[in-house]
């Protein structure tokens, strides 16, 4: 997709990965609007980005806020061609059985419901115009499960699935979809989470020094490549490839233990995924 001349909207755009994506989009010639729940960070980011950048204060869990954001952005910059659902909060590192239900609900409302709210608000227009691209930020935790990341992983896995479904649904309408799965990145995630009321215990990855995470600018450039080439999955850390492969080994092995019963009903084509059960 050609980015120059497009209108782009980035949530969680006042810092970290979101701000890096906004910078990259501006360099490519897009008109950019950013949203954040923090007004002071939003003001700082808009001042830095300059030009005609539009800032919108938004809690992505608030559907009425999305409607107001669309009205503001379309009035100032025109219809949104590129939507980046990036807003999120960090993990609290508690065992899943000990997780505060309020934290679980907040995580889902921001990351999963917030992503859906963006899709619901802007994708119908893209589909009608037969033009656009959606980037949904998940995480490497959306591909690989780890202990003590229960609500975080659940929401990120859900965003990966939502994105894959959306990609399949929009393929015939000229609208691309990518899911971004970054590893550890130098961001303000700890501060963002604290402002959202999430307790940040010692040892939380969100407290890690910036030197141990990659530069968000690297992520921004990978997202530009993903939009331009309509890549289904955008990852940032090649060293996780083996872990991702190991995750799928038991899943594929489970298929080997049972016969293919109705090959004509399999997704894709008649019998396209026929795996012979191993003895």
Please list the active-site residues. 152
Structure tokens at 28: 């490519």
Burial 24-59 (b: 16+ CB within 10 A, else e): bbbebebbbbbbbbbeebbebbbeebeeebbbbbbb
Whether 179 and 222 have beta carbons less than 8 Å apart is answered as no
Cβ(121)–Cβ(183) below 8 Å: no
Q: What is the DSSP letter of 38?
A: -
Question: From the centroid of its chain, how far is CA 145?
Answer: 17
Q: What is the DSSP string of 137-172?
A: E--GGGTS--TT-HHHHHHHHHHHHHHHHHHHHHGG
- CB of 17 closer than 8 Å to CB of 86: yes
């Amino acid at each position: 997709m050609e980015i120059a001349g497009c209108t782009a909207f980035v949530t969680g755009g006042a810092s970290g990965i979101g701000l890096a994506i906004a910078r990259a989009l501006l360099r490519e010639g897009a008109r950019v609007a950013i949203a954040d729940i923090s007004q002071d960070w939003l003001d700082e980011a808009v001042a830095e980005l300059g030009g005609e950048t539009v800032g919108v204060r938004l809690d992505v869990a608030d559907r009425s806020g999305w409607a107001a954001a669309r009205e503001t952005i379309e009035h100032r910059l025109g219809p949104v061609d590129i939507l980046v659902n990036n807003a999120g909060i960090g993990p609290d590192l508690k065992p899943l059985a000990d997780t505060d239900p309020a934290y679980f609900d907040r995580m889902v409302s921001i990351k999963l419901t917030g992503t859906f709210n963006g899709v619901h608000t802007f994708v119908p227009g893209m589909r009608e115009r037969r033009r656009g691209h959606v980037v949904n930020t998940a995480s490497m935790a959306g591909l690989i499960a780890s202990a003590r990341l229960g609500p975080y992983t659940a929401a990120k896995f859900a965003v990966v699935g939502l994105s894959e479904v959306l990609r399949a649904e929009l393929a015939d309408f000229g609208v691309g979809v990518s899911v971004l799965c970054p590893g550890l990145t130098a961001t303000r995630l700890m501060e963002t989470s604290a402002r959202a009321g999430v307790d940040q215990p010692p040892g939380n990855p969100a407290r890690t020094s910036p030197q141990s995470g990659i530069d968000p600018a690297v992520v921004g450039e990978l997202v530009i490549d993903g939009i331009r080439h309509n890549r289904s999955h955008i990852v940032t850390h090649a060293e996780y490839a083996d872990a991702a492969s190991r995750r799928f080994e038991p899943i594929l092995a489970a298929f080997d233990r049972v016969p293919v019963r109705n090959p004509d009903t399999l997704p894709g084509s008649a019998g396209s995924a026929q795996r012979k059960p191993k003895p």
